[in-house]
Amino acid sequence: MTPEQPRYDSTADDAWRWRPGRWYAYFALVLAAAVSYVLAERDPWERTTIAVGLLLALVPWFVFLGRRVMGHDDSLPSSLAFVAGLVVLSGGAAVAAPASSIVLFALCPLCFMVLTWGQGLIAVLVINLVPAARFLLQTTSLSAILLFAIWATVIITFSGMFALWIDRIIGQSTERRELIRQLQATRAELAEVSREAGALAERDRMAWEIHDTLAQGFTSILMLLQAAEPHIGRDPDAARRQVGLAVQTARENLEEARALVAAQPPAPLGTASLDETVRRLTERLGDELDIRADYTVSGEPRRLAAGVEVVLLRAAQEGLANIRKHAKAGRVEVALAYEEGAVGLRVRDDGIGFDHGAAGGFGMRGMRERVGQVGGTLAIRSTPGAGTTITVEVAQT
């Protein structure tokens, strides 16, 4: 037994997408760190109060506008307004207390979350502009300024490239998510089509089986009883003979019905071989119609694939049933030929024949489809007044 494979859930969150609660917690943690650092710096209380007030003002700004922009409102004006507020509040706090710049660890990712990559990169540059300007204005050392410029360039370049990489990953993830959703929808549609096709195929199979077995059996019983009726008073032995054949046919029909319900091989085959079964069917037809019915077998009889034997048996039954119902024949010839690499069946009568243009019954169509399913060929030759010959050949070693 193999372990069950994990199934992709198209309704689940993407692995790269943090849930809102995680972003809120991260934002709160960074903001708390910034406020704590500002308070620990011991700057003049006026500047500390201004810096802390501006930092805390980020909370309602994020709650009332930031969450809406991140969750539902993707319009550019709302996103730009939110980022502009971040720039003003964080910039004012940085002017009052440089330590408040720690909050940028939370604000910079937000810029890329609510804007495109290019817009987000510009926003990151702007939001870092005030802290950078304050540092440069307070520093007179050329080496410190140069070092700051180098580190700023490296950090901004890295941030931009990293954000671009993440943006492309998110884009690919979104595209693949949609492709997987479409594939799952297509798979569901194919499964439904397959189920409907299977149901239709099973319905056709049952229709063929009923036509080839029960319907033909009832037709034979009816014909035998009708043939027995004229002999009831004047020839009891002939009437009993016809009734006996009808009873025997009814028993065989019952066996066919049971086999059909149990999805077993056709009852006529049972443990008997195909050639014995076809011989019995031919002799039965001769007895029922009181005509000459010859059966010949050539080659060495052998067991065939179950599907092939069923197809040949049904073809023989259909051919003999048509003779019984329509041909008005005086002689019937059935031949089964076992050749090297193939097996053939021929059913011929000397009856009234038919016009090929009028021969489009369910039985003939079913016979053609059955033979085609096992890769065989079916040929029907008939001329009005000159009898009919049905030939089936199936390649079988």
Domain positions in the chain are 20-138, 273-397
Query: Closest Cα to residue 369, out of 248, 205, 188?
Result: 205
| Residue 338, pLDDT score | 92
Which of 148, 126, 127 is CA-nearest to residue 137? 148
Q: How many CB atoms lie within 10 A of CB 237?
A: 8
Rounded CA gap, 111 and 122, in Å?
9
| Tokens of residue 29, six digits | 């943690």
Length, in residues, of the chain: 397
Q: Quick one: pLDDT at residue 347? A: 94
156-160-161-165 Cα dihedral, nearest 10 degrees: 150
Query: Rounded to an integer, what distance in angstroms lies between the CA atom of residue 255 and that of residue 223?
Result: 20
Distance between CA 274 and CA 297 in Å, rounded? 11
Distance separating alpha carbons of residues 190 and 203, to the nearest angstrom = 19
Confirm or reject CATH 3.30.565.10 for domain 273-397, answering yes or no.
yes
What is residue 76's predicted lDDT score, i.e. its pLDDT? 81
Conformational region of residue 54, where left means phi above 0, alpha means psi within -120 to 50, and beta covers everything else: alpha
The DSSP 8-state label assigned to residue 11 in this structure reads: T
DSSP-assigned letter for residue 327 = I
Residue ranges for the chain with pLDDT beneath 50: 1-10, 16
